Amino acid sequence: MTTIIAFIFVFGLIVFFHELGHFLFAKRAGIMVKDFSIGFGPKIFAYRKKETQYTIRLLPIGGYVRMAGEDGEEIELKPGYRVGLELTPEETVSKIIVNGKDQYVNVQPIEVSLCDLEKELFIEGYEDYDDTKKVRYQVERDALVIDGKIETMITPYDRSFNAKSLGNRAMTIFAGPLFNFILAILIFTALAFVQGGVPSTDNTLGNVLPDGAAAEAGLKKGDEVLSINGKETKSWTDIVQNVSENPGKTLDFKIERDGKTQDIDVKPATQKENGKDVGKIGVETPMDSSFTAKITNGFTQTWNWIVQIFTILGNMFTGGFSLDMLNGPVGIYTSTQQVVQYGFMTVLNWTAVLSINLGIVNLLPLPALDGGRLMFFLYELVRGKPIDPKKEGIIHFAGFALLMVLMILVTWNDIQRAFF
């Protein structure tokens, strides 16, 4: 049960931030957002506020923000359609009832002769289906078209995705991965404050364990190690390397404490690591507890992980690709199960790393991913006009289908590794 809760928390937080990026930048650009959904499949929770429906769905493995005009949907009322109009006191249309007109009172029936629900926002027709009573009404910008139980808000063209500048469209798409990186920065920064600092590379000692060789020899937290056996130590890495390479051998530590230097002999204990003897003296990594270090930790950790993940991706494609290199939802669930054992802080760290992964994967120039869409914007910038929406839709659909096939294969591979 703990693993399930952790998995939902991790995936939910990552997906929420990703979609929040799309959502906020869409709103900033004046784009109408019709749906903000966390998860796929049947609805568990739905709430509508103004033009946007917010939903939580059963399968916590993704999400989406549906923007007006993004998928080419349009409301079309052809000449000859018989509809009912609900009018405001100002005689403008607030609702257009296509089916189920008898369920509404004070509805004006008309037969449509001409209609524009995108730019000029009007509807013309014959009142009471009488061709001698021609009328024309302006349509409210937030008018609803009702077809039985389905209510759809009209989309004025200036509120649609495609009506916005190339820069606004590109930034709206890029904002999803960007917010994944922002989430990682926030988590790494918060962890630095909660843990009291970040690991330092200085040549000083951290906490000295009471039962270790360092405590026995008289070393203390904060001692600056100038040299070991006459070899200068400039960093914590130098200290670890010298100790690890000399298990069971007495080492001469030259340290500085309270402005004074002194020599202390330390004999590292011998421990086995990966079948090899290594030296240990019972000292923890020093921590930098400065405010600056805590704040910058989020950025440095995130950048380091971005570099590491891109390096791994590069090795995957240059060194031979295998499905074993990928993890799907089942593989991530299995990893989360292991991470949970180490506590909430480790789960948060895992969340940050996964968020960076999601951000990078979404930026890959593949159809159906954010990176694929950004490539189409680049094509538009170079060519001077966008690709035909139908062609782009076909490419994205094909890319989505291939991704789904890959997801199925990866998930099956995860199941085999986990249970067989």
Residue written as tokens 């966008």?
386
The predicted model gives 236-258 an average pLDDT of 94
At which of 139, 154, 169 does a domain end?
154
210 and 238 within one domain: yes
391 and 252 within one domain: no
400 and 315 within one domain: yes
Residue 272 has pLDDT above 60, yes or no: yes
In a domain, residue 50? The reply is: yes
Q: Which of the pair, 104 or 300, is modelled with greater confidence?
A: 300
Neighbours of 139 (CB within 10 A): 22
SS3 state at 301:
helix
147 and 165 within one domain: no
In a domain, residue 31? The reply is: yes
Q: Domain with 222 in it: what CATH number? A: 2.30.42.10
Residue 370 has pLDDT above 70, yes or no: yes
As a whole number of angstroms, the distance between CA 373 and CA 390 comes to 14
Q: Is 19 a known active-site residue? A: yes
Count structural domains, the chain.
3
317 and 253 within one domain: no
As a whole number of angstroms, the distance between CA 335 and CA 337 comes to 5
Nearest to 359 by CA among 143, 142, 177, 213: 177
Residue 398 has pLDDT above 80, yes or no: no
As a whole number of angstroms, the distance between CA 225 and CA 253 comes to 7
* Pairing of β 134-147 and β 93-99: parallel
Phi, psi at residue 245, to the nearest 5°? Answer: -80, -5
129 and 25 within one domain: no
pLDDT tens-digit series, residues 171-219: 999 999 999 999 999 999 999 999 888 888 899 999 999 989 999 999 9
pLDDT class of 414 with cuts at 50, 70, 90: very low
At which of 288, 315, 336 does a domain end?
288
Among residues of the chain, what percentage have pLDDT more than 90? 47
33 and 168 within one domain: yes
Among residues of the chain, what percentage have pLDDT more than 70? 88
> Tokens at residue 264, please?
């202390």
403 and 328 within one domain: yes
392 and 265 within one domain: no
At which of 288, 314, 339 does a domain end?
288
Residue 229 has pLDDT above 90, yes or no: yes
3-state helix, strand, coil in the chain (%, to 5): 45, 30, 30
Note whether 86 and 93 are within 8 A (CB): yes
Phi, psi at residue 86, to the nearest 5°? Answer: -100, 120
What's the confidence (pLDDT) of residue 341? 77
pLDDT tens-digit series, residues 139-159: 999 898 888 888 888 888 889
In a domain, residue 92? The reply is: yes
pLDDT tens-digit series, residues 125-143: 998 888 888 999 999 998 9
Nearest to 205 by CA among 236, 233, 245, 228: 236
Determine the Cα angle at 418 with ends 412 and 420, to 5°.
85
**225: Cα within 13 Å, side-chain hemisphere:** 35
266 and 243 within one domain: yes
pLDDT tens-digit series, residues 61-90: 788 899 988 765 667 788 988 898 999 999
The predicted model gives 298-321 an average pLDDT of 80
Range(s) of the domain holding residue 269: 200-288
Q: Which of the pair, 316 or 240, is modelled with greater confidence?
A: 240
Lowest mean pLDDT across 237-246, 323-332, 343-352:
323-332
What's the confidence (pLDDT) of residue 410? 53
Which of 19, 70, 111, 392 is catalytic? The answer is 19
325 and 407 within one domain: yes
Nearest to 120 by CA among 162, 165, 158, 94: 158
DSSP state, residue 197: S
**4: Cα within 13 Å, side-chain hemisphere:** 2
* Sequence-separated (6 or more) residues with CB below 8 Å from residue 40: 57, 58, 59, 61, 62, 63
213 and 167 within one domain: no
In a domain, residue 77? The reply is: no
Element (H, E) at 401: helix 389-419
Note whether 369 and 399 are within 8 A (CB): yes
In a domain, residue 278? The reply is: yes
Phi, psi at residue 130, to the nearest 5°? Answer: -105, 115
Sign of the torsion formed by the C-alpha atoms of 412, 417, 419 and 420? positive
Q: Which of the pair, 255 or 346, is modelled with greater confidence?
A: 255
Task: Quote the mean pLDDT of the chain.
Answer: 85
Note whether 64 and 35 are within 8 A (CB): yes
In a domain, residue 76? The reply is: no
